[in-house]
Structure formats: C-alpha cells, structure tokens
Structure 1
Amino acid sequence: MQRGTLKAWFLVHKWTSLVCTLFLLLLCITGLPLVFWEEISHLTGADPEVAPAAPGAQRANVDDLVKKALAQYPGDVPLFFGWDDHSPSVYVNTGARPDTPPPEMHTAILHEYTGDVLPAAQFNEGVMYFLYRLHTDVFVGLPGMLFLGAMALLFVVAIVSGLVLYGPFMRKLPFGTLRTGRSRRLAWLDLHNVLGIVTLAWALVVGLTGAINTLAQPLESAWQDHQLREFAAQYESRPKPTSFASLDAAIARARAAEPAMKPAFVSFPGTGYSGNHHYGIFMHGNTPLTERLYRPVLIDVETGEVTAQPRLPAYMTVLLLSQPLHFGDYGGLPLKVLWGLLDVLTIVVLVSGLYLWLKRGSTDARVAEIERAGLVGNGEVTSP
C-alpha cells in the first residue's frame, strides 16, 4: 500500500469517526437498555405476569375484547388489535381518529381467555419509551431518523476504513497486544484497535440494520402507496363503511386462508395498513425467523369475506428482518446478553477513539506511526 493511499484511508477513518462518534455514543448508551426492554419491563412491573389460561378454556370473543378496550377510553376508535406470543394476553390500540400517530395512541391489555382488563403501563410513556424515542428519532420524527441513519452509514465507513488500517498497523504485533510500557496514548491505541476488530462483525451488522431501520417510515409509505393503494382503488367509488362485520369471524377466516400461520395483529380501516374498507389481518410464522415475516389477509369489513392476500415486497421483508436483528431479538436472553456485552465494548472503542483524537499529532506523524508498526520498505507498506 502506497504512503499516499495509506494517508487517504487514515483521513477517511479520522473524519467519518469524528462526525459520527458522539451520535454513536448516544445510540450505544440508549440502545443498551433497549436490548433488555422486555426483561426490564417485567422487573419494574410495567409488563406484569399474566395468569395462564385454565385447562380447556376458550378464547374470549375478539369483538367483546375490543368493546372492553374502547370502554377504557370513551370517544376513541379501534386502531390495532394484536397478540402476545409469550403470554395469553392481547392488546388493543385506540385513538381519537383512525390516523392517530403512535405517540397519541392509548393501549389496553386484556387476558385473551377471561377478557379481564390487565394493569399495564402505556407503551408510549415512561423511561423506556423516552430512551426509545431518543434512540430512534431524537424526538423530531422522520428527519431525526434519517439523520441517525446517515450517522450509522458513516459508522460503517469508519469501520471499513479502520479495518483497512488495522492490517498495516498490527501486522508485526501478536493479536491482542497492549503496549502499556511505552506511553498511555499507545496503550489506548492498541486497546482501540483490538476491541475494534473484536466487535467488527457485530458493529457492521448493527450499523447496517440501524440504517435500514431508519427507513421504516419511507418504506412503509412506499408499500402503502403502491401495493395497498392500488388495491384500495377498487373501492374508491364506495362510501366508507358505517357498520363492520364481526372481527372474530374475520380472524377465523384469515386463519383458514393461511392455515400454516397464526395472526400477529389486525389493522382497522383507516390506519394506513388496509385501506378504508378492510381489516388487515397480518399473519406470521411460528419460528424465531418466520414470526418476523408477515402475510396480510385483507377482509372486507362489510361482508367479512377474504378479498386479497398480497405478498409483502422484498424491501419490506428486509426491513422486518433487520428490526429484531438490530436489538438481538432472535435468540432469547443469551443473544441479548451477547448484544449487551458487544455494545459495551463498542462504547469503549468510541471513547478510546475520542481520547486518541484529543491526544492527536499531525496526520503525517500518525501515518508514520502506522508505518513504523509494520512494514515499510522504500516508501511502501506491504499488503497484509
């Protein structure tokens, strides 16, 4: 590698790291508790234990459950109905109008079998929701998401450029070497390099999935505008329905239409997920992977009949798979613990990078340092 090329890679790594580091620190610090959101909710009582169903008990009628939820918030309309795969409970999101945004929604949790309303905190309140908003959009909506997505992409560039520099710098040193006897800055540099390479694969995965996740709103809007709007155009001449068919019966028809899948959630008309004339019953699989992949079954709210089973486009599948992967939500608690440890190590990498910048010398001096560590002959650094 020529000295000029090495210097160029060093500048790329330096400036991409500097621009994104503070924001990446924010994302790593807020992301750490979010990895354990479910466990923290159980410990704090925000997500209390739900009594198991009695042997032989039958599920309560879904229409009755929705009515009980609406009684908790007079004047609201139903928006979403969903199931908890890990307990016999369901949730109902309600709001003042069909297009109520998530921060303004109300949520009722009910026992799926007894129909009892369960005590539970609102999903859009409390410390964890504050951290979630700080992590995803810094409280400014889509512009904040896209900005953080740009920072995630810069982080990926910083990782790749750091990997390019790692070979020349560490080639003559055993892996894991920490040269503590020469200078504090050199010890920090070795720590930065070692932890950076240890967390490399994880940081790339989290950085790329984080960038993808920030596109959730545009991707969902594209899907709604193209696939769902094209389907809904068939109903434009019809007035909005004033009476709805039984949701309980509609869910039964969706189960029959997709017997290998189970319902995940239902979108009511007007929410943007199923047009103005349909229930959107989103089915998913039974494995940690397929439960993230949805297949909508559209049910006419007036007749209760199945009218379409559109497949999600590829970009929505990528989004749905990247969301849980970003938080390590595929392999239960062991994977979450691994995600948490790697998150902490990445925080150390970012802090050590800031320290190295504060104790920086000139760019030429830094490049010469890399050359001395490895491999220069006649002005060239040999390729690793």
Structure 2
Amino acid sequence: MKSQTIRRWSFIHTWSSLICTVFLLILCITGLPLVFHHEIEHMLGDAPELKEMPANTPRMDLQQLVKAAEAHRPGEVVQYFGWDEDEANGVYAFMGKTAGGDPNDTHTFMLDQRTGEAVETPSANGGFMMVMLRLHVDMYAGLPGKLLLAFMGLLFVLAIVSGVVLYSPFMRRLDFATVRPNKSNRVRWLDLHNLIGVVTLTWAFVVGLTGVLNACADLVIAQWRNDSLAAVVATYKDAPPLTERAPASRLLDIAQATVPGAEPSFIAFPGSRFSSEHHYAVFMKGDTHLTSHLLTPVLIDATDLKVTAIVSSPWYMDALLLSQPLHFGDYGGMPMKILWGVLDVLTIIVLGSGVYLWVVRRKAAATVKIAQTAEAA
C-alpha cells in the first residue's frame, strides 16, 4: 500500500475514532447493564412478582383488564398491552394522558390477568435501569439525540473499516496476535489495540450497524405508518372521530383466528403510535426463536371488531425488529449475554487505548518539533 494511501486511511481512522469515542464509551458503559437488565432488575427487586395462585385459576378478559388499568391510573388511557415471556399470568399496561402521547411520558406497570391487580415496575418508570436506557437510546435529547448517536454509529463503522485497511499491511510484518513485550509502552498498547480490535471486529461491526438502525427507529416507524399502515386505513380517512369503541374482550381470539399458530406480542389501542384512530392493532409473533422477533399486525375495526387487514411488514421494519435483540444479545440466552458483556468490555479497552495512542503520538510529535526548532535556532 502506498504511503500516501496509508496516510489517508490513517487520517480517516484517527478522526472518525476520536470524534465518536466519547459517545461510544457512553454507549458501551450504559449498554453493559442493559445486556443483563433482566438479571439486574431481579437483583434490585424491580422485577414485578405476581401472587402464587392455583394453576387453573381463570383469567379476566381483556376489557376487564382495560377497566382495571384505568382504575389504577384515573384520568389516563391505555396505549398498549404487552406480553412478556417471563410471566405467563401478567400483561404489561402502558398508559398516558392521551393515546398518542410521548412514549417517554408513558407509565408502565403489570396487571395480573387472574385478578386485575396492578403491580408496579419501577425499572420501567425511573431508577437506575431507566437512566441507563435513556442515556443509551437518546441521551435524554429525544429524536435529535437518537440521530446524533446514529451518526456516531456510522463514524464507528467507518473507524472499523479503516482500521482493517490499516491493519492488513501491519500483519505482513508481524505474526497474528503478536504483542512485543520488549518495546515501549506505546508499542505494546498499539499491539494490544490492534489485537483486541481484530478479535472484536465482527461483533463491533454488527453492534455498530444494528445500533445505527435502532437509533433511526422513530424514522423507520414513521415511514411504516405513512406507507403500509396508511394504505390499509385509507378508506377511513373521512370517517368521523371514534366516540365509542367496542370492548377489547375478543381481540386475541379474532387475531389468532386470522393468523393461526401465532402468539400475541402486544396490542396497540386506537390512536396510539402503532395503530390508527379507528383500529385496534394486535401484533402477532411467530413460535420459533427467530420468528418470535417478527411481528404481523392484525388491524381490527374498533367499532364492529371486523378485521380490516393484515398490515404488510416491509423489509425495513423486519430489519429493525431483528436488529433490536441482536444489538443486546437476546438471541442465545445467558451464554450469549456473557459473550456480549465480554466483548463490550474489550471494546471499551479498544476505545481507551485508541485515545491513549493518539495522545502519546501528539506528545511525541510536539517533542520532535521542539527539538527541531531548538537545533535550527
């Protein structure tokens, strides 16, 4: 590789890395507890726990649960109901002042499907884990914060690519994984920086790309609403505002009959972000480990409970849904979470060593310049 090309790639690698380093450190530090959020919530006692009851205890229907949620939070409306694999008898209720309110203003709690009893979930409404999540997702800056992090993610990917280009000729001079112990601290850290960078290469690239996609989730969802969702509710454009809606009791039966073999993931109530002003949207998921992350929305008229359509899921929505669990290592249970945690710590070392190498190099260059000036005087 020509020296001019090396200098160009070195410039790209140095500055793309430095610009995104602070943000990447924040993302790595906050991402580490998020990988183990289930375990941390249980350790902190923030995970909701339902009462022990006989296995054959009947469950309330959805409309009864809606009433229970509204009684628990008077003056608010139900935006979503969501099901969690960890608690078979619980359903999460998401409530706000309005159906389409800011997601950050939503209050989340669990309802016992057998009794309608509300169980608070502190980690979903504040506390340590919510602080970590907000810092990781948008740094408390909303959409501008998400887009800034998306840009930093792109710089991180560029730093990875440029690092690979620079490391290729370096490998021709030394064997793989060589760390020269008899050299200076700078050289040893350079060798470790390159070694750890190569080891974490694929993981960092995948996490970087999925992070960019997740940071653009608001834009992806908005495109889905304006494209797929808008197409199937076009006939409701001039319909009068919904003043009274049919009870939610039969929603799951209707959705399961429409998409046989699927299970409910969550229900979006009329007026919420994932539905229309005139529909319930029941999002159904597959029964395999992969298809459980892909959702099929069944749109049900909120007046007469007739199925309006099964909303198509474009490739960009599928990509977003698949990228979210991959980003946090949710595909392979605890072994994969541990692997994700180790790789996260190694990435922090790569970022820190990169800053150290840049500082040392700048100091060395300044020392040489001073010496040259003194000789010329």
Alignment TM-score, normalising by the size of structure 1: 0.91
- Structure 1 distance, partners of 2:66, 2:12, is 55
- Give the partner amino acid of 1:355: Y
- Structure 2 distance, partners of 1:340, 1:81, is 31
1:139-170 CA-to-partner distances (Å, cap 9, x unmatched) read: 11111111111111111111111111112113
Q: Shift in Å at residue 363 of structure 1?
A: 11
Pair 69,139 (structure 1): closer, same or farther in 2 beyond 3 Å: same
Say whether the 8 Å CA contact 1:250–1:305 is kept in structure 2.
no
Pair 1:178 & 2:174 matched? no
Pair 119,307 (structure 1): closer, same or farther in 2 beyond 3 Å: same
Pair 1:322 & 2:337 matched? no
Which residue in 1 is equivalent to 2:374?
A: none
Pair 1:303 & 2:296 matched? no
Which residue in 2 is equivalent to 1:233?
A: 234
**Consecutive aligned runs of 4 or more in structure 1 exceeding 6 Å deviation:** 362-365
1:104-149 CA-to-partner distances (Å, cap 9, x unmatched) read: 1122311223333224326131111111111111111111111111
Calculate the aligned-residue CA RMSD, in Å.
1.8
Say whether the 8 Å CA contact 1:261–1:284 is kept in structure 2.
yes
1:150-204 CA-to-partner distances (Å, cap 9, x unmatched) read: 1111111111111111121132322222112121110110010000000000000
Q: Shift in Å at residue 288 of structure 1?
A: 2.2
1:198-255 CA-to-partner distances (Å, cap 9, x unmatched) read: 0000000000000111110011001111222232221122222222212121221111
Q: Which structure would you say has the larger RCO, counting Cα contacts within 8 Å and 6 or more residues apart?
A: 1
- Give the partner amino acid of 1:344: V
Pair 11,128 (structure 1): closer, same or farther in 2 beyond 3 Å: same
Which residue in 2 is equivalent to 1:377?
A: none
- Give the partner amino acid of 2:24: L
1:118 match: secondary structure? strand
Which residue in 2 is equivalent to 1:189?
A: 190
Pair 356,122 (structure 1): closer, same or farther in 2 beyond 3 Å: closer
- Give the partner amino acid of 1:270: G
- Structure 2 distance, partners of 1:344, 1:224, is 38
- Give the partner amino acid of 1:42: H
1:303-323 CA-to-partner distances (Å, cap 9, x unmatched) read: 011111112111110011111
1:57 match: secondary structure? coil
Which residue in 2 is equivalent to 1:92?
A: 93
Say whether the 8 Å CA contact 2:81–2:268 is kept in structure 1.
yes
- Structure 2 distance, partners of 1:363, 1:321, is 46
Extract unaligned runs of 5+ from structure 2.
367-377
- Structure 2 distance, partners of 1:91, 1:20, is 36
- Structure 2 distance, partners of 1:19, 1:333, is 33
Which residue in 1 is equivalent to 2:281?
A: 280
Which residue in 2 is equivalent to 1:344?
A: 345
- Structure 1 distance, partners of 2:298, 2:189, is 56
Which residue in 2 is equivalent to 1:382?
A: none
Q: How does 1:93-112 map to 2 (within 5 A)?
A: 93-112=94-113
Which residue in 1 is equivalent to 2:11?
A: 11
Say whether the 8 Å CA contact 2:268–2:280 is kept in structure 1.
yes
Q: Shift in Å at residue 353 of structure 1?
A: 0.4
Which residue in 1 is equivalent to 2:74?
A: 74
Alignment TM-score, normalising by the size of structure 2: 0.93
1:62-115 CA-to-partner distances (Å, cap 9, x unmatched) read: 111111111111111111011112212101111111111122112231122333
Pair 98,49 (structure 1): closer, same or farther in 2 beyond 3 Å: closer
2:233 match: secondary structure? helix
How many residue pairs are counted as aligned between the two chains? 365
Say whether the 8 Å CA contact 2:83–2:92 is kept in structure 1.
yes
1:274-294 CA-to-partner distances (Å, cap 9, x unmatched) read: 211110000001222111100
- Structure 2 distance, partners of 1:68, 1:51, is 17
- Structure 1 distance, partners of 2:316, 2:50, is 36
Q: Shift in Å at residue 9 of structure 1?
A: 1.2
- Give the partner amino acid of 1:81: F
Pair 20,122 (structure 1): closer, same or farther in 2 beyond 3 Å: closer
Pair 1:199 & 2:216 matched? no
